[in-house]
Structure 1
Amino acid sequence: MMEVSPLSLILVKSDSKGDRLLFRYPYHIQESDECASTQRKNPYTLPTTEDPLQSAQLTSNIIKGYLTGFSDEVLSSLFAVKIELCDKNFELKVNDVRFVGFPTQIPLMKKLKDGSGYMLINMIIALHAVASPSVVQCYHEVSKKMGIALRFEEKRCGYASEQTQLMTASHDEGFQNTKEAFNIILEKCSLARNIKKMYYDLCGTGLVNVYINRWIPLSYCLPQKAHQWHLQGKIVEPEDIYKCLSALRPYHSMLLLYPVSDLHDFIPLDGSPTLIRLLSQYSPLKNLQTLSADSDITLNHVFELTAHLFYWAKATIIFPICSANKYVISPDAPVHRDSPLVEKFSEEFPGYNLLQVISEYSLPTSLGQKYNPLCHPSEQSHLVKTLIWMLQHHLLIQLHTYIQYMPLDNMAKPAGESLKLQNTPNPELESGPSTVPDTPDPRSEVDQPRMMNFSDLTFISLDDEKQEYQEELLLDFPDEERSSIFRIPATNNPEDLRLFAKLCRKKYFQGEHHIEEIMYHENLRRSQVLQLLDKFRDVLLTYETEDPSISMFSSFDW
């Protein structure tokens, strides 16, 4: 998406000596055919300077991805703003270009000869006018970081004054064109080289990492660009990332998109030592809670470190890999024969073909189904590694089991039959050793009344208490739903009925919570939930789909 990348980075300054454009990158001026046609052909005519702000003919200032149509004088007068606009977001739209910045007032380490002690620095970033508000805000922050870094270095060693003086002197040496002056500035000034690197970082990976004066780190992540390499063609807004991180739970896991060894270069020298400790204990088979315990880091801080890696496109969020997880091919996965991932997979796993390996996940498949108890442990390890690789490249999605409570109607119940009669046991089956003959007389219970002994009374009393307890568990259920539930044999077990009623009341059975989430919040084992599903399968339906809170980070827009 071209509207994410900057068109140009422009550094201007203003002090008692006036306004000056110090540096811009790129500075290769490309003229359009329209502009070339308006150039004077008669060598004896006087040159004319056309103001792009007043010209009605010039409708575009973007030619082949470069900023054109603005002279250095026009840019310096536009962006060397007054002191009242300092330390505020600056924004100006001209034709199809939007200029954003953050003017910063810098106290000078040494006052100028005229006694003035301040200088205004503004790094302007030229963007496409159609850039989204979130992209504009990100570039405001980039400009602000540059201003803060220069203010600190000026206070420490006068770095900003030194660099601006070198740039001004280069412009005053009388070169035939500004291109030569900018080339000299790149050779002499480290700040100009920082700006050049920032431009290529923003246009490339979206990850800025420079050191101002080889001392102050200036790091920034442009998420709209940074996440495109693993979500090709998809713009990820910061709001999308914040929404996903708000759903982060201790039962989630972190999946690094780079080898751990590569991430050590990403961590600066003054980086958090807890991040290094976290990476030393990292495994996609661990959830964040286990990772917190293994690395001896508080869970809240593990969340913060995970969010940092996630925002910087160094990791994504998954559920811990285990034998019960079910995976299926992503509907947008590029698994055609000419896909570049086919060759990349063969380089990572010699002797294996991606299309053949991924075809085993055409239907929802768990690792437990693929494990062969007779195979060597190295084969199981290889199976996990290939799965991790496919998850890193978003070729697979994980399916979760969601539960929906759907009570049966009351059609099977005879009219007028009471709930109490349905659950009344047969006293003949609960008394002592049977004395009933093998062929009982159907008239025996009517014609031959029997005295009720103490054990019968005890049984009826206990059964009534049990039934009352069961009815209390479902007291807030509608009568028809209770009738459907009590026809299920599992209701005879008070513990099963209690757990069922508890999960129903907490709205876990409305199709919005998957099994892993229920297990975590209610401290249940997977076997307990699966047994409950089996026992109450008459009123509990299940379906499998991906988790919507992280599904956007496992799909492509090819």
Structure 2
Amino acid sequence: MEVNPLSIILVKSDSKGDRLLFRYPFHFQENNEPANTKRRNPYTLPNLEDLLQSPSQPTSNINKGHLTGFTDEVLSSLFAVKPELCNKKFELKVNDVRFVGHPTLLQLRNKQQDASGLMLINVVFALQALASHSVVTCYHDLSKRMGIALRYEEKRCGYVTEQTQTMTTAHDDGYASNSEAAFQTILKKCTLASNIKKMYEDLCSTGLVNIQINKWITLSFCLPQKVHQWHLRGKIVEPKDIDRCLKALRPYHSLLLLYPVQQMGDFTGLDGSPSLERMLKQYSPIKNLQTLAADADLTLNHVFELTAHLVYWAKATVIFPICLTNKYVISPDAPIHLNSPLLDKFSETFPASNLIRAVSDFALPTSLGQKCNPLCHPSQQSHLVKTIIWMLQHHLLLQLHTYIQYIPTDRGLVVARDRDDRNHMSSQRSVVLSSSYQPSASEHSRAESESGTSTVSETPELRSESDLLSRSINLENVSFTSIEEEKQDYQEELLLDFPDEERGNIFKIPATNTPEDLRLFARLCRKGYFHGDHHIEEIMYLENLRRSQLLQLLDKFRDVLITYETEDPAIAMFSYT
């Protein structure tokens, strides 16, 4: 998808009429031939039936990436809209070209407050008709910002009146000749024309616009569909993709600058935010955003906003903080062939290292803890961390996270019953347990004596010895039964909402004998952490758990919990194409 503009057109309309003041580029070749036409045999005769019945071929107004087929008069009449349509989005499709702008109505500084003192200014971008809705929205936003800046400068010093008079004079002086000479003159004399020229070149090259209107107002703009292409190797990144990533931003994530901090001075000056400078002074890829916010004395929400700002402008990306437990693997499309320009670039940064050798260490998923020898010098560990940072900046590596899936049976999850059905079954189970209770011999004899139905007469000595013997046996049975019932009670209570088949398989695990382990397992399972949507680092943060606790739990319940490694989908779009 092509996101570059075909042309930028400046049109004005006032009491003297409408006029196209400037367009860039103005070096073009007229082309009114139908699109998709093939060269015909000059000796063939036309078929009248085809001429009468077949529809006419569509006309193309794009020639070698430039706008063609429109005269200045036609464009001025198209874009000089009525006052009722001002300060609104303007969009017009003609053949294979889509025009986008934001007509702005100005009150001229040197005129009275009446109809003759109004001027309409419209900065229009010509795009390909197939441009996506997000691209059209971005260009409309740029046209709107341009109109606001021009309205302010006209109110402050009459800048628009001065520039339009110079442009009109250049057109009038060169009317007898071609309009290209007039555009050349305007480009030399008018700073507004120079701004439009620079805007076009910036949009086509980097997607970042930074101009100063009348040397007073700084206009900065980012076209994300273009600006992310250089570091993602031609991938089109839509604003909605960036928004989806930033909505998944968590305090345990980290910020990775794509440029050295020393080279961010121009951007921070352009941004004009002192909090951004304060955050960059405390920046480190081994800090998570929560720690970065505390070190920079900023709120966490504000750090999120600054991170979103840097990511949108392709100055940074989101990663997990670099630590020894991180596991990396080579990106599927890492450009590490022998003729890759990254080889020389890596050698310039690390003269004593080779990129192919450094990347080959991560041909299989490898953690930094496996690469760092505790006996090696700290400088070697620092060199390894810097190498990892460089390869992450150039999207040569991606990080793998451990995800957990709950598989209680050979068939996977069992469809759980409704809660009312489970409560009903548990109440029935308690009734069955109570009905199976058998009274002891002493209680039975006591009941018979009270009711007067005893048929066997016993001496007091024989009765007392029998009571003592039966009481001791019953105490042993009661103690043994109470332990088993207590164990079964807390197991049943913790897993009451689990299906019967799942409970049966879980009870076979020895770890269920420990209430703490079973309680933690049941809690994490109920919260959905074992459905493959949360990696270990996220569970640790959300539940305030240590890695050792979680790894021990996975080991104890390995019969029903399986693990697999993959990347974090929240930041996957910034890892590789």
SS in 2 for 1:268: helix
Structure 1 residue 108 displacement after superposition: 1.0
| Cα distance, 1:112–1:538 mapped onto 2, change above 3 Å | same
| Counterpart Cα distance in 1 of 2:145 and 2:490 | 66
| Larger deviation, residues 463-472 vs 360-369 | 463-472
Q: Where does residue 20 of structure 1 map in the other structure?
A: 19
Give the one of 553, 562, 565 matched to 1:544.
565
What residue in structure 2 maps to residue 429 of structure 1?
Answer: none
Report deviation, 1:163. 1.1
- Report the equivalent of 1:346: 347
The 1:270–1:325 alpha-carbon spacing in structure 2 relative to 1, beyond 3 Å, is: closer
Cα offset, 1:182, TM superposition? 1.4
**Secondary structure, aligned partner of 2:310:** helix
Contact 1:171 1:181 in 2 (8 A): yes
| CA pair 270-405 structure 1, distance change in 2 beyond 3 A | closer
Given that 2:32 and 2:60 are in contact with CA atoms closer than 8 Å, whether structure 1 keeps it comes out as no
What residue identity is the alignment partner of 1:492? N
One-letter amino acid of the structure 2 residue matched with residue 16 of structure 1: S
* Structure 1 match to 2:161: 161
Distance 2:57 2:158 in 1: 45
Structure 1 residue 147 and structure 2 residue 147: aligned? yes
Q: CA deviation at 1:337?
A: 1.2
How many Å apart are 1:335 and its aligned residue?
A: 1.6
Amino acid at match of 1:509: F
Q: Is the 8 A contact 1:408 1:538 kept in 2?
A: no
Q: Deviations over 1:389-427 (max 9, x none)?
A: 1111111111110101111469xxxxxxx9xxxxxxxxx
Letter in 2 for 1:22: L
| Residues 463-474 of structure 1 mapped to structure 2, 5 A cutoff | 464-474=485-495
Partner of 1:172, secondary structure, is helix
Task: Give the equivalent residue in structure 2 for 1:207.
Answer: 208
The residue number in structure 1 matching 2:454 is none
2:232 alignment partner, SS class: coil
Residue 506 of structure 2 corresponds to which residue in structure 1? Answer: 485
How many residues are matched? 500
Whether contact under 8 Å (2:213, 2:219) holds in the other structure is yes
Q: Which amino acid aligns with 1:514?
A: H
Residue aligned with 1:351, SS? coil
Q: 1:17-416, aligned counterparts within 5 Å?
A: 17-32=16-31, 59-111=59-111, 116-174=116-174, 176-268=177-269, 271-408=272-409
TM-superposed deviation, 1:267? 2.1
Structure 1 vs Structure 2 CA RMSD: 2.4
CA separation of 1:138 and 1:270: change in aligned 2, threshold 3 A: closer
Distance 1:474 1:347 in 2: 60
Contact in 1 for aligned 2:108/2:118 (Cα 8 Å): yes
For residue 4 of structure 1, what is the aligned residue in structure 2? 3
Higher mean C-alpha deviation, range 105-114 or range 242-251: 105-114
Q: Secondary structure at the match of 2:380?
A: helix
Conservation of the 8 A alpha-carbon contact between 1:277 and 1:295 = yes
Check conservation: 1:409, 1:484, Cα contact below 8 A: no
CA distance in 1, matches of 2:113, 2:536: 73
Further displaced range: 176-185 or 287-296: 176-185
The structural deviation recorded for 1:99 is 0.9
SS at match of 1:4: coil
Where structure 2 has 5 or more consecutive residues not aligned to the other structure, the ranges are 35-55, 412-428, 430-468
Q: Deviations over 1:330-385 (max 9, x none)?
A: 11111211111112111111121111110110100000000011111111111011
CA distance in 1, matches of 2:291, 2:479: 50
Deviation at 1:471, TM superposition (A): 2.1
Q: Take 1:130 and 1:270, find their aligned partners in 2: how far apart are those partners? A: 33
Structure 2 contact 107–113 (Cα < 8 Å) conserved: no
Amino acid at match of 1:65: G
- The Cα shift of 1:20 comes to 1.1
3-state DSSP class of the match of 1:375?
A: coil
**What does residue 416 of structure 2 align with?**
none
Contact 1:100-1:124 at 8 Å conserved across structures: yes
Structure whose alpha-carbon radius of gyration is higher: 2
TM-score (norm 1): 0.85
Residue 187 of structure 1 deviates from its aligned partner by: 1.6
Give the distance between the partners of 1:114 and 1:293, measured in 2 at CA.
56
Q: Secondary structure at the match of 2:308?
A: helix
CA contact (8 A) 1:409 1:481 kept: no
State the distance in 2 between where 1:11 and 1:386 align. 49
**Aligned residue for 2:553?**
532
Matched, 1:500 2:521: yes
How far apart in 2 are the matches of 1:517 and 1:495?
Answer: 21
| More helix as a share of residues | 2
- Measured after TM superposition, the shift of residue 237 of structure 1 is 0.9
Query: Runs of 4+ in structure 1 displaced over 3 angstroms?
Result: 31-35, 112-115, 448-464
SS of equivalent to 2:554: helix
Q: Report how far residue 467 of structure 1 moved.
A: 3.4
Distance, in Å, in 2 between the alignment partners of 1:479 and 1:68 is 74
For the 8 Å contact 1:257–1:392, the answer to whether it is kept is yes
What residue is the counterpart of 2:445 in the other structure?
A: none
Cα distance, 1:268–1:409 mapped onto 2, change above 3 Å? closer
Quickly say closer, same or farther: Cα 1:25–1:486, change in 2 above 3 A.
Answer: same
* Counterpart contact for 1:99–1:124, Cα < 8 Å: yes
Give per-residue Cα distances to partners, 1:203-225, cap 9 Å, x unaligned. Answer: 11111111111111211111110
Q: Distance in 2 between matches of 1:285 and 1:204?
A: 33
SS of residue matched to 1:547: coil
Note if contact 2:32-2:59 (Cα within 8 Å) is conserved in structure 1: no
| Secondary structure at the counterpart of residue 28 of structure 1 | coil
Distance 1:199 1:488 in 2: 68
CA deviation string 1:38-91 (max 9, x = no partner):
xxxxxxxxxxxxxxxxxx788211111111121211111111111111011111
Q: How far 1:15 sits from its partner (Å)?
A: 0.2
The farther-off stretch of 391-400 and 62-71 is 62-71
Preserved contact between residue 13 and residue 120 of structure 2 (Cα < 8 Å) = yes
Amino acid at match of 1:146: M
Aligned to 1:162, what secondary structure does the other structure show? helix
Report the Cα distance in structure 2 between the residues aligned to 1:202 and 1:146, rounded to whole angstroms.
14
| Structure 1 Cα separation of the partners of residues 494 and 200 of structure 2 | 65
Distance (Å, rounded) in 1 between the aligned partners of 2:323 and 2:126: 48
The answer to whether the 8 Å contact 1:12/1:79 transfers is yes
* CA drift at 1:33: 9.7
CA distance in 2, matches of 1:326, 1:455: 55
Match of 2:425 in 1: none
Q: Is the 8 A contact 2:167 2:186 kept in 1?
A: yes
Structure 1: gaps (5+ residues): 36-55, 411-417, 419-447
Match of 2:441 in 1: none
Q: Which segment drifts farther, 265-274 or 215-224?
A: 265-274
TM-score by length of 2: 0.83
CA deviation profile, 1:504-547 (whole Å, cap 9, x unmatched):
11011111111111111111111111111011111110011111
Q: What do residues 464-519 of structure 1 show as CA deviations (whole Å, max 9, x unaligned)?
A: 33431222111111222122112211112111111000001101111111111111
